[in-house]
């Protein structure tokens, strides 16, 4: 019998910051740092790491760690007055002992943790809006990883924000990877002053630096890693855009916390709300969800697999 007490454990990193380790009965696991509310590890039942973390990553607050799944809020990228990707990923979150209920299937048969972020006085000076940000990270029996963000406006006036789950996937060789599900979509090319273009390829493949925001993207896309025979199925709710990023060789050499050759073994595919910021009136709440699945793959996008996952 699986003891639910074995499903989660609080440990500390070498800076003394709490981390929550989630496990499922088959040996899959996820590790979440309270620094940034960041998922820093997701392993399948074989113990294989599915998320990329740079060997040069800096694990010291307030710097965010290069890799895993970063929470980009209340700003994605540099399209605003705040630092790159906002401040949520740099803050120490707390475990939320008594969160408002989520619907029952959010916890059924899953190990999970609820985290909470509220703005500090310093945060309010640079972004003067009061909010409660609740994040649930859950690991299912089949190894699926789900992140559910709930952001409530507890301010006296409306505010707007952009958002992304900045997700670093581990891949065997970026030149052997393709993304399916974004064909024919319009995208903003962030390497060309956010020029609006239309995807022409049958699938997205990689031969050079890429930084694109695909607009009004489907709820599910697939990342096929041919060499590893693995497919990542990325499901999302409340997140209309998909950001695709790989820094390639030249950009990699300019990043202090990223190895010169590491672009070959990573790919960011982010569920996001970027093009049209989300606006919350006082008392309103927004929910955005990311569901990650890793499956053995053939060379085509298996719709049956998606249907079995309920997409």
| Residues 101, 78: Cα–Cα separation, whole Å | 34
| Residues 306, 69: Cα–Cα separation, whole Å | 22
136 is in an annotated binding site: no
89 is in an annotated binding site: yes
What distance, in Å, lies between the first and last C-alpha atoms of the chain? 30
Region label for 147, one of left (φ > 0), alpha (ψ between -120 and 50) or beta (otherwise): beta
* Residue 87 token pair: 């401040």
* Residue 37 token pair: 């509310």
- Torsion, Cα 161 165 168 169, to 10 degrees, reads -150
Nearest one of 66, 72, 37, 65 to 239, comparing CA atoms: 72
Nearest one of 170, 169, 168, 36 to 91, comparing CA atoms: 36
Q: How many other C-beta atoms can be found within 10 angstroms of the C-beta atom of residue 227?
A: 11
CB 215 within 8 A of CB 195: no
194 is in an annotated binding site: no
Sheet order of strands, 145-153 included: 94-95, 111-117, 131-139, 145-153, 285-296, 230-237, 220-225, 177-180
Q: How many other C-beta atoms can be found within 10 angstroms of the C-beta atom of residue 75?
A: 23
Residue ranges of the binding site for substrate: 66, 84, 89
Report the binding-site residues.
66, 84, 89
């Amino acid at each position: 019998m699986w003891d639910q007490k074995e499903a989660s454990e609080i440990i500390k990193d070498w800076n003394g910051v709490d981390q929550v380790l989630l496990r499922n009965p088959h040996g899959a696991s996820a590790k979440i740092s309270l620094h940034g509310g960041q998922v820093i590890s997701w392993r399948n039942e074989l113990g294989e790491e599915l998320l990329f973390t740079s060997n040069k990553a800096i694990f010291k607050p307030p710097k965010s760690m290069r890799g895993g799944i970063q929470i980009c809020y209340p700003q994605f990228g540099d399209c605003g007055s705040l630092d790159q990707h906002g401040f949520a990923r740099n803050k120490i979150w707390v475990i939320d002992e008594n969160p408002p209920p989520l619907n029952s299937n959010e916890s059924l048969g899953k190990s999970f943790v609820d985290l909470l972020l509220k703005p500090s006085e310093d945060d309010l000076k640079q972004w003067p809006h009061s909010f409660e940000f609740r994040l649930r990270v859950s690991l299912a029996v089949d190894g699926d990883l789900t992140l559910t963000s709930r952001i409530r406006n507890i301010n006296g006036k409306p505010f707007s924000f952009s958002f992304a789950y900045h997700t670093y996937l581990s891949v065997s060789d970026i030149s052997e990877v393709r993304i399916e599900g974004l064909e024919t979509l319009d995208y903003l090319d962030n390497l060309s002053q956010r020029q609006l273009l239309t995807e022409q390829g049958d699938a997205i493949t990689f031969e050079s630096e890429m930084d694109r925001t695909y607009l009004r993207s489907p709820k599910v896309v697939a990342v096929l890693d041919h060499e590893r025979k693995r497919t990542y199925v990325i499901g999302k709710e409340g997140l209309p855009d998909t950001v695709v990023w790989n820094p390639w060789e030249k950009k990699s050499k300019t990043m202090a916390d990223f190895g010169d050759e590491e672009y070959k073994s990573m790919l960011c595919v982010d569920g996001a709300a970027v093009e049209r910021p989300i606006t919350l009136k006082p008392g309103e709440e927004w929910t955005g969800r990311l569901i990650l699945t890793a499956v053995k793959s053939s060379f085509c996008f298996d719709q049956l697999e998606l249907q079995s996952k309920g997409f």
